Amino acid sequence: MQILDFNHISQIFVNSLELVVVFATICAALEFTFPAYRYSLASYARGVRNWLIRLGLGAFVWHFFAVGLAWLGVKPLVTINFATLLHSENAIVSSGLAVLSGVLVAIAGDFFYYWMHRAQHAVPFLWRLHATHHSIRELTAWNCNHHISEPLVYAALVALPLALIHFESGVVPIVAMTLITFQAHLSHSSTRINLGPFRYIIGDNKFHRIHHSMEPHHRHRNYGFFTTLWDTIFLTAYWPKKNEWPEVGMRNQPEPLTVRDYIMFPFDRHRWRKPKVGNAVEARD
Backbone phi, psi, residue 81, to 5°: -105, 100
Residue pLDDT, tens place only, 255-269:
999 999 999 999 998
On the 0-12 / 13-18 / 19+ scale of CB atoms within 10 A, 134 is: buried
Residue type, 155: A
Pair 211, 223: CB distance under 8 Å: yes
Query: Do you find a cis peptide bond into 173, omega within 30 degrees of 0?
Result: yes
On the 0-12 / 13-18 / 19+ scale of CB atoms within 10 A, 19 is: middle
Residue pLDDT, tens place only, 68-104:
999 999 898 888 877 777 776 777 777 777 777 777 8
Residue pLDDT, tens place only, 96-148:
777 777 778 888 889 999 999 999 999 999 999 999 999 999 999 999 999 99
**Residue 80 host element (H or E):** strand 78-81
How many angstroms separate the CA atoms of 139 and 150, rounded? Answer: 18
Per-residue pLDDT, 168: 74
More confident residue, 284 or 247: 247
User: What dihedral do alpha carbons 100, 101, 102, 103 form, nearest 10°?
Assistant: 50
